[in-house]
Structure 1
Amino acid sequence: KFGEKNYDHLIIFAPSVEEFGGSITVEEITRFVDEGGNLLVAGGSNLGNAIRELALQHGFEFDESDTMVIDHHNYDGILDDGHHTTIVANKLQLLKAQLVVGETAKMNDVLFKGVAMIAHKNNRLRLDVLRATSTAYSYNPTAAMEEYPGALGQQILLIGAMQARNNARVVFTGSLDMFSDVYMSANVRKMGEGGEAVQSGNFQLLTALSKWVFKESGVLRVKKVEHHLAGTKEVPREYTIMDEVEYAIEIEELRDGKWRPFDQKDVQLEFVRIDPFVRTTLSAKNGRFSTRFKLPDVYGVYKFLVDYRRVGYTHLYDVQQVQLHKPGFSPGEAQQPGVDQTGL
């Protein structure tokens, strides 16, 4: 309303819906994401056109209605009804990103029952959160196999996600059952394996995934940026070529509802005109990332640029523009005809 979102997040757990009704359409939901809203969608074997079209808008495609993921080697010996569609997925099939999927070292097998999904090859923003095994395929479990399956093996996504360029987050899965109390509390025993049944990892996985998609984890922000001549706190109007400068950026991460110092050691700075003249990894201490370097001997307009992109984190981008001049430059020279201050 009045250019502002009424809600930050949207959950759609209505797999069979053919249309959303009222003013809610696939186009409106897509616009919601384009404006920074976050989206969580669960499908199922009885999939309606609305969910199918919505997935296509975000680079994912569900298989035909009445089909399900089938795996004769990886199904649950307790809940499965004989069609081998209650899939048991292990932690090795998960995306290697703790922010998105949680701590997999302590995670038990996950239960999935639903429709297969594939990602478009040109969907470069996608995250393959949970893949099927090489023995899985997609077909109608009650029909005789008369044609090639719609999807095979690790081509099949059980859960897919995307972080858009505006940092909006989207998650699609083909299984609404994954979120049910039955699956979250179920004891799992993969058919053919001995030992005691153990509680499924659904609760742990979906808790972490929900926190991620609703931006309760993996969110970064810039608290403060500063640059100045080395050894001083002076920020000159313009820098001179070959000056020694110090640069620092303070970054915070949202954890447990509070902004805390970002704790990583791979943040880099580029000092760029057209191409980077300097690229260096910043020294990290309690969320403050800093460096000291000598400016290049070519004058012109430059940028201190931090462009931090890591799986699971929001895209952090900060630019500070400065001018470099030759020694003895005076501002009046910029007004003289024929004097080129670009360095090009």
Structure 2
Amino acid sequence: MSSNHQRSWIQLGLSQLLLVALCLIFTGFVNTQSPQANKNTLVLVDNLAIKETHSTFFRRLQENGYQLSFKMSDDQALSLKKYGVWLYQNLIVFAPGTDELGGDLSPEAIAEFVDAGGNILAAGSPSAGDAIRDLAAEFGVELDDVGSSVIDHLNYDARSDKGQHTLIAVDPKNLVDAPIIVGKEVQAPLLYEGSSLLVDPENPLVLEVLVASSTSYSYDPTKPISEYPHTVGRNTVLIAALQARNNARVVFSGSLDFFSDKFFSASVQKQGGQLFEKSGNEALVRALSDWVFKENGVLRLSNITHNKLGETSPPAEYTITEEVVYRAVFEELKNGVWTGYVSDDIQLEFVRIDPFVRTTLKRVPGKTGLYEARFIVPDVYGVFQFKIDYHRKGYTFVNSATQVSVRPLQHTQYERFIPGAFPYYASAFSMMVGVCLLSCVFLHIREKDKSE
């Protein structure tokens, strides 16, 4: 092969590599910079009719700018990432009847998706397949046995229940005490027909968003009760949420119908209770979807500064017993806009292995979101950190650590005379005076001559 042919082949190969690199860069740029890319959402369904029966839920997401990609849950071409780049930021799994997800999707792959910061909204049913059960187990949630439904003989919907009392009406008071998650607009009872969830009470990351009444239990309504139900009373969890340590969010519901148009617009009346023209499902789902997809409850910390009192720039190192001023800006995402976060429970720690100082940040008057703390550096030198570790229910975790050095006093910075040492000073000078007097007496005394 001639050198010209070799050169042309090399140029062609380089051009192809350059084209692939540009495509990857462009894909990564779009996924990280475009506002629409942050709302790319994969919707898995096991029946395309769900698009119609849950149209209100999906339409609201699309009106808020979410790009929904509907795919069958057993599609063999399913994938969450391509060439190492995540294709979606959110995942909705409305496929309770699927036994195995198609393509590259598996519970482990979806767990990796959450580890990368992705958010998940999933719903099950009494006949949920292995796919949704394995997925729930990855995040510390377990669905009840196949065929089991939540039953409540005292709090069921008297208008629409078919006699098995599985269509229950849940009081809004059973929601978690976190308005940032469930909103403030839920006033009517919530319609629920589905399976119960079991969560690990020792898992600090899992929240019980909605629980059933104390008269409820979970069992197969077609069979007589022959053993103790898996969940009884307030231990019957209907909706659970998880916020991972990287602030990724996951919401599991034991009922797919909870998100349906039928339940959104249905009237509710408990047995012998007040009639509500519309259930509270739509209001709760609106708040839940905003939370799980990080429209609400997102905090960030910025503009961190620290300096000595009376100065404006941070020093290379601090000296013990100096007064320090620490400032930081806390912001909350509201309606797509970052605004100042208002709270009086944000704490700052000055840590060297263990906290030596713990103080509450105070709001700076006239400056929204700006907080300040002043304290005296402890009389201990070493490597310290200004640390903020802010955890509040429903909000993203805020962690910040700024490392600084603290040194002892230089020789020229010590006091020449310490008040506590005045007795020692007095004893030293008194000894000097005594020696002088003794010397004078000794030198000037005249001994008598023995001969006289």
Fold conserved between structures, TM > 0.5: yes
What one-letter code is carried by the residue in structure 2 that aligns with 1:56?
A
Q: Which has the larger radius of gyration?
A: 2
Q: Map 1:1-344; keep pairs closer than 5 Å.
A: 1-103=82-184, 107-193=187-273, 195-285=274-364, 286-328=368-410
What is the rounded CA distance, in whole Å, between the counterparts of 1:210 and 1:63 in structure 2? 24
What is the rounded CA distance, in whole Å, between the counterparts of 2:136 and 2:275 in structure 1? 38
What is the rounded CA distance, in whole Å, between the counterparts of 1:326 and 1:201 in structure 2? 62
Task: Describe the SS at the equivalent of 2:296.
Answer: coil
What is the rounded CA distance, in whole Å, between the counterparts of 1:241 and 1:67 in structure 2? 65
Task: Describe the SS at the equivalent of 1:27.
Answer: helix
What is the rounded CA distance, in whole Å, between the counterparts of 1:78 and 1:35 in structure 2? 45
Task: Describe the SS at the equivalent of 2:231.
Answer: coil
Query: Closer, same or farther in 2 for the Cα pair 1:325/1:2, shift >3 Å?
Result: farther
Q: What's the C-alpha RMSD, in Å, of the aligned pairs? A: 1.4
What is the rounded CA distance, in whole Å, between the counterparts of 1:145 and 1:236 in structure 2? 72
Task: Describe the SS at the equivalent of 2:86.
Answer: coil
1 or 2, which has the higher helix percentage?
2
What is the rounded CA distance, in whole Å, between the counterparts of 1:169 and 1:205 in structure 2? 17
Which runs of at least 4 in structure 1 moved beyond 4 Å after TM superposition? none
What one-letter code is carried by the residue in structure 1 that aligns with 2:211?
R
What is the Cα deviation at residue 329 of structure 1? 7.5
- Percent identity, please: 48
What is the Cα deviation at residue 2 of structure 1? 4.1
**Higher RCO (CA < 8 A, seq sep 6+):** 1
1 or 2, which has the higher strand percentage?
1
What is the rounded CA distance, in whole Å, between the counterparts of 1:27 and 1:237 in structure 2? 46
What is the rounded CA distance, in whole Å, between the counterparts of 2:402 and 2:108 in structure 1? 36
Cα deviations across residues 246-293 of structure 1 (Å, max 9, x unaligned)? Answer: 000101111101111111111110011121111111111410110111
Task: Describe the SS at the equivalent of 2:290.
Answer: helix
Task: Describe the SS at the equivalent of 1:32.
Answer: helix
Cα deviations across residues 201-230 of structure 1 (Å, max 9, x unaligned)? Answer: 101111101110101110111121000011
Alignment size in residue pairs: 328
Task: Describe the SS at the equivalent of 2:275.
Answer: coil
Normalising by the residue count of structure 2, what TM-score does the alignment of the two structures yield?
0.71
What one-letter code is carried by the residue in structure 1 that aligns with 2:113?
F
Contact 2:188 2:276 in 1 (8 A): no
What is the Cα deviation at residue 23 of structure 1? 1.2
Cα deviations across residues 114-152 of structure 1 (Å, max 9, x unaligned)? Answer: 011110233221001001111111111122223322221
Cα deviations across residues 283-331 of structure 1 (Å, max 9, x unaligned)? Answer: 114101101111111110000011100000000011110000112279x
